[in-house]
Amino acid sequence: MKEVMYPRRSGRLTQKRVTPISEKPTVRVAIYTRISTNEENQPYSLEAQRKHLVQFVESQPKWLQTHFFTDQITGTTSKRPGLQAALLAAKNGEFDVLLIYRIDR
C-alpha cells in the first residue's frame, strides 16, 4: 500500500493510504490435464486441453498460471502422480484455483 500526500485547505499536506488498482492480488492458477484412455482415441488431447486452459487463464484479469500438472494414465484411480502432486500443492497453499478441461478429467 502506498502513502500519497494530499494538500489540505490550510495548505498543509496530509498523508492518506491508497491501494492502487494495479496492486490488487493475483489469482494463482494451476492447470491439470488428463487423458481417459490412450491419447489416440481421445477427442481432447493433452495439448488441446492445455492450450484451451492457458488461453482462458490469459483472458482473466489478474490471473497467473503458476503450476501445470498432467497424467497420461486412466482415471479409474486417484493414485495418479499428477493428481497427487496437485493435491499436495493445494494443501500447501501454492495456488488458489485448479482448472480442469472437463469435470470428468
105 burial via Cβ count (<10 Å: 0-12, 13-18, 19+): middle
Distances (CA, A) of 51 to 2, 18, 64, 78, 79: 37, 38, 15, 24, 25
Predicted confidence (pLDDT) at residue 38 exceeds the cutoff of 90:
no
Distance CA 96, CA 78 (A): 21
The pLDDT value recorded for residue 68 is 97
Percent of the chain predicted with pLDDT > 90: 51
Predicted confidence (pLDDT) at residue 37 exceeds the cutoff of 90:
no
Predicted confidence (pLDDT) at residue 14 exceeds the cutoff of 70:
no
Q: Is the pTM of the predicted complex or chain greater than 0.85?
A: no
Percent of the chain predicted with pLDDT > 70: 64
